[in-house]
Amino acid sequence: MDGLVHNGDGKKAKLHGRAFYESIGSPKVVVAPMVEQSEFAWRLLCRSFVHTSPSTSLSPLHAYTPMFHSKLFHTGQKYRDACFQPLKMPLPDPVDPYHISQLPPSSFHLDGNPSIDRPLVVQFCSNDADDFVKAAKYVTPFCDAVNLNLGCPQGIAKRGGYGSFLQEHWDVISSIIRKAHEELDVPVTAKIRIQETREKTLAYAKMILDAGASILTIHGRRREQKGHNTGLADWSHIRYIRDNLPPETVIFANGNILQHEDIAACLIETGADAVMVAEGCLHDPTIFAEPPKEGEEGDVYWKGVDGKRGYRVDAVMRRYFDIIWKYALQTEPPNRKPLWVPGAPEIEEETTSMEELPHKNDITPSATDTNTTVTTVTTTSTPADNNQQPPNKKRKLTKSERKQDAQTKNPNLTAMQAHLFHLLRPLVAVHHDVRDALARCRVGDMRAFENVLRMVEEKCAEGMREYERDVRASSTQQETQIGGKGEQEEVKDNAAQLAAFEADPHESSRAAVERCRRPWWVCQAYVRPVPKEAIERGAMKVGKKELKRLEREKEGLERSVGLKPGGRVEVVGMSGEKKGEGEVSKNGAGEGKEEVEIPREGVVCG
């Protein structure tokens, strides 16, 4: 589906709002648009863990492309071809939708491929209606809708005048969405952040919907909530918007999704139609998947005796590499031995040696696509001893290597290293040799990346073997806790965890950390410290604007209970006589007096 429906006269009419949402299968989960991180290979990896009905080619997992710059997209062919690769040839200029519709299935390549990458929304940042529409016309034959980014809070968005820094310019936003709604063949949608008050966000949302947006995604954080000040998303704010818009309005909620269970909780608390996940799926691309049924875990899913469970990082990483080989490089993946499984015998199978893997220069452009510049590269890592110590000083890239990296434009290859550092974050915190090997990998050097995969598989097998030994040892000693902890220690630990769960999530991230913690060989969420913790650790300082906001909140609280903002403390004698601060009664210090806070005049407290 592409957001269109055939009329009786043979022409296509564009669907809108809930009709459009239902036409793409009414998905409940969505991969968020992330700059250089929600590219085809990662979207396909996330989709691969979600069951698709045999009766449809539409995945139940909806997805967005990374954010593209609208002006660069419609004015620069190199930028366009590097970002978006729907065909096994460069995008025609101009795009002829009828010509595209007549192409055979074999002509389609990666982005928006009807058989593997739908439903799909292409996101642009823009502050000009003409730029947005011109850019969108290049992608409409290959997607179900386009999206206007109104949520990016980064400095580059502020300098460029787009993303969340358009939220004060309602006339510009309205003109972009209205023009796109009137002129494009597919629906237009928008993604926003909440504003200072619920009423202001509601008015903002109504303006966007009235201009013609079919779906509104609401990120439950304000513009200033980023970096160490990210904090928690406000689901109740999203709920207010949902309850005060017409029922037929399609709302996606975004924020606070750390684990699969959070998706259902978010749907209930916000009343949204679907949940969009961003950072959560970078650290755990299996977050959208239901756990396998008992006995169907295979070699990809791990279960601990304490109830902790999840998909293995080595299995997920292997599946990701297979997607890179098969789709991005159009080459068969190398033969690999089966992953180690507890209790399974060791099996020696013929595998592809490191020397047999092709260099970048061995993969010809015709074997990949014309959008990828293939250059010769010298491998900087070898299948040498994994225990080899890292160099004392990190080696700088040569000018030639930097040039080669820059020339490799395939977004599925350029994103690999960043994705793996997200996925392997708990593992590389323990195994620094894996971290150093991954850091040395260059864009497109699949030998180096395959070497990291082998190291990861070996580390995961070692970790699970050690875990199994601890389980057997604890069983023999008839202790309830792995690692030699006795019953009293277990009770103390449980009490500490219970206390952590009772903590205010805005004050401490400890409860979330305990909830999400898994062994390092299992995919798991990264829990950001809340702002208060970041300040205590010295990672963040409170800015002047934040201090003023906190002061306003304090004053508002004081007024709500009838206190004078900034108030004063007066010492009042038992007879009612006021005494100055620090003044001592004739009867002696502290005798016959008390300190009270005086309400503001004219306010009745009750």
Q: What is the pLDDT of residues 232-241, one digit of tens each?
A: 999 999 999 9
Confidence check: pLDDT of 350 > 70: no
Can you tell me the mean pLDDT for 104-132?
A: 96
Beta strands in 450-604 (DSSP E): 569-573, 578-579, 593-597
Pairing of strands 301-303, 309-311: antiparallel
- pLDDT score at 548: 75
CB 64 within 8 A of CB 123: yes
pLDDT at 127 over 80: yes
pLDDT on residue 478: 53
Instruction: Compare 153 and 557 and report the one with higher pLDDT.
Output: 153
Q: Can you read off the two tokens belonging to residue 303?
A: 């279960």
Give the three-state DSSP class for 122: strand
Token pair in block for residue 580: 């100055």
Range in 312-326, 402-416, 439-453 with the lowest mean pLDDT: 402-416
Q: Which of 46, 125, 143, 152 is catalytic?
A: 152
Structure tokens at 348: 């020696």
Phi-psi category of residue 205: left, alpha or beta, with phi > 0 → left and psi -120 to 50 → alpha: alpha
C-beta of residue 71 within 8 angstroms of C-beta of residue 128: yes
Q: Is the pLDDT of residue 521 over 90?
A: yes
Instruction: Indicate whether 465 pLDDT > 90.
Output: yes
**C-alpha atoms less than 13 angstroms from C-alpha of 408 in its C-beta half-sphere:** 26
pLDDT at residue 260 in the model: 97
Would you state the structure tokens that stand for residue 54, as one six-digit string? 């045999």
Q: Quote the pLDDT of residue 46.
A: 98
Range of weakest confidence among 43-57, 106-120, 185-199? 43-57
Q: Residue 396 above 50 pLDDT?
A: yes
- Residue 213 is predicted with a pLDDT of 98
On the question of pLDDT at 297 being above 60, the answer is yes
pLDDT exceeds cutoff 90 at 527 = yes
Report the run of H or E that residue 277 belongs to, with start and end.
strand 274-277
Q: Do residues 212 and 181 touch, judged by C-beta distance below 8 A? A: yes
Q: Is the pLDDT of residue 594 over 90?
A: no
pLDDT exceeds 90 at position 65: yes
DSSP for 15-79, please give it.
Answer: --HHHHHHHTT--SEEEPP-TTTS-HHHHHHHHHTS---TT-SS-SEEEEEEEEEHHHHHH-HHH
In 3D, which of 51, 50, 54, 44 has the Cα closest to residue 116? 44
Strand order, beta sheet including 569-573: 578-579, 569-573, 593-597
All structural domains of the chain, each given as residue ranges with its CATH number in brackets, are 17-291 (3.20.20.70), 325-467 (no CATH)
- pLDDT class of 401 with cuts at 50, 70, 90: low
pLDDT band at 409 (very low <50, low <70, confident <90, very high): confident
Closest CA to 139 of 152, 156, 122: 122
With cut-offs at 50, 70 and 90, classify the pLDDT of residue 375. very low
Contact indicator for 379, 435 with CB cutoff of 8 Å:
no
- Which helix (H) or strand (E) segment holds residue 495: the answer is helix 487-501
Look up 125 and say whether it is catalytic.
no
**What share of the chain has pLDDT > 90, as a percent?**
61
pLDDT value at 219 more than 80? yes
pLDDT at 425 over 70: yes
**466-495 residue pLDDT tens:** 999 998 888 776 544 444 444 445 445 555
To the nearest 10°, report the CA torsion of 209, 212, 218, 222. -80
Strand ranges inside 307-347, DSSP E: 309-311
As a whole number, the mean pLDDT across the chain is: 82
pLDDT range class, residue 602, cuts 50, 70, 90: very low
What integer pLDDT is reported at residue 451 of this predicted model?
97
